[in-house]
Amino acid sequence: MPLSDDRSLSPLRRFLPRSLLGRSLLILGLPIVAVQLISLWFFYDRHVQNVTRRMAQNLAHNIQLTVNHMRYFPEAKDRAWILSALRSGQGMRVTFRKGQTLDRLESRNMGGQVGREVLRQFDRILAEEFVIDGDHDDRHIRIRVTAPGGALDIVATKKKIRPITTELYVAWSIGAAVILLFIGGLFMLNQVRPIRELAAAADQFGKGRDVPDFKPWGATEVRQAATAFLIMRERIRRQIDQRTEMLAGVSHDLRTPITRLKLGLALERDSPETEALRRDVDEMERMVEEYLAFARGEGLEQAVEANLNLLVRDVVAKAQDDGARIELALPSSLKATVRPNGFKRALTNIVGNAVRFASEIKVRASRRAGLILVVVDDNGPGIPENERDNALKPFHRLDDARNRDAGGAGLGLTIARDILRGHGGEIILTESPMGGLRAVMRFPV
């Protein structure tokens, strides 16, 4: 069954992964990402804000304390000692600009949540005029504060106002999420692998190819599905074997009385009545053979990699030897895994059907989008569109082929379709550009 068209899905589902592995990782990853985002949100809203507030308060209090000491101890030697204590205790570069004042037009350049919190605490704690340059360089901020007799020029690292744990926490959160997703992906990949092998085995079996090395493994539910597949495969094989054995007995039982009838008619005098009986017996024998061929199929033949060009040439050559006019077009190389005898038999039935009703035939083969296409065109009377499905049904005889001397038992196309379906393919009947019937043999590579 083909996959559903994305256009039939809801807008949200169109963007979701289609594979089980992708959806499993999405189910696993969304909670992890959601937890990390919620944690980061609380971390930034609570932890970062609180730590930034305390650090900004500490820096502002130290600066205000330094200015107060300079006011109470205005001597130059005292000022030098006060500034030295600020430098050594806080690890900042502090310069006293004697006689300098602050330009009120200077901006307080501090953006972001951290910058807003720092400005808020400085406005609350510092009684002096100040300006802050948060973009002094990548690692430092510059603070200028009015002091007695001049201004203080302070260059401090950004670690004084921004907690270093922010980057560490973010890196830890992202790293933990990546590690969890990686580990989860490895486990999910191991869980999905037996499902993929089961799908591949079912696909190969549907194409008529055996998968002898397939064994159930994986989770309990997957093993149950694989075991059910193996049981189903064995049942189908037993059914095919039973059908073949039954039809072998039917063949023996039917051929014996038919042979007796033929011998009895051979001993009779030639007359219109005996001639009609001979034709009926011949038709009965032909119908029995075709029915047995249809029911037996090619289920016992093993699929192998074959050169389709050689198989197609062989079928066309035999038809040409019988006087058919066939134009052949093949690619330089065309190989696929098929049952060679079954493939030749299906193509022989289609070509033979075209030869019976047409004078000119074209056969071409190609490979397109993972499919093998063998197209047979003819210039015969064709088949009406409303009769094409019926033409593939067993024992269905079209009006143009009702003369039993000209047609078979109505099983040629049915046998071909049965063989193609055993390869995971199909036969499509359409109108030919030559005016007759086009039969397309299509099956996966």
**Confidence (pLDDT) at 402:** 35
Average pLDDT over residues 322-326: 87
Residue 311 has pLDDT above 70, yes or no: yes
pLDDT at 363 over 90: yes
Average pLDDT over residues 46-54: 75
Q: What integer pLDDT is reported at residue 395 of this predicted model? A: 65
Check residue 25 and give its pLDDT.
76
Chain centroid to CA 236: 30
Residue pair 354/437 in contact by the 8 Å Cβ criterion: yes
pLDDT recorded at residue 404? 43
Q: Is 139 helix (H, G, I), strand (E, B) or coil?
A: coil
Q: Is the pLDDT of residue 9 over 60?
A: no
SS3 per residue for 361-425: EEEEEEEECCEEEEEEEECCCCCCHHHHHHHCCCCCCCHHHCCCCCCCCCCHHHHHHHHHHHCCC
Judge whether 148 and 71 are in contact, CB under 8 Å.
yes
Identify the CATH class of 207-296.
Answer: mainly alpha
Q: Please state which CATH number belongs to domain 300-444.
A: 3.30.565.10
Average pLDDT value for residue range 49-62: 81
**CATH architecture label of 22-166:** 2-Layer Sandwich (3.30)
The domain spans of the chain are 22-166, 207-296, 300-444
Task: Tell me the per-residue pLDDT of 279-304, one tens digit each, with 9 for 90 and over.
Answer: 878 877 777 776 666 555 555 567 78
Four-residue CA torsion sign, 329, 333, 336, 340: positive
Q: 139-146, long-range: CB within 8 Å, 24+ apart, which pairs? A: 141/110, 143/63, 144/102, 144/106, 145/63, 145/67, 146/67, 146/101, 146/102
pLDDT digits (tens, 9 = 90+) for 367-402: 888 889 999 999 988 888 888 888 887 766 665 443
pTM of the model: 0.51
Q: What is the DSSP string of 108-128?
A: -B--HHHHHHHHHHHHHH--S
Q: Are 355 and 377 in contact (CB under 8 A)?
A: no
Strand partners, 326: 361
pLDDT of residue 403: 41
Please list, residue by residue across 260-297, b when 16 or more beta carbons sit within 10 angstroms of its beta carbon and e when fewer do.
ebeeebeeeeeeeeeeebbeebeebbebbbbbbbbbbb
Higher pLDDT, 88 or 275: 275
At 198-253, the pLDDT tens digits run 888 887 777 667 777 788 888 888 888 888 888 888 887 787 777 767 766 776 67
**Taking all residues of the chain, what is their mean pLDDT, rounded to a whole number?**
78
Confidence (pLDDT) at 196: 84
The predicted pLDDT at position 440 comes to 92
Nearest to 400 by CA among 374, 436, 433: 436
pLDDT at 425 over 70: yes
pLDDT of residue 2: 44
Across 64-75, average pLDDT: 84
pLDDT in tens, 153-163: 888 877 777 66
Beta-sheet pairing, 426-431 with 437-444: antiparallel
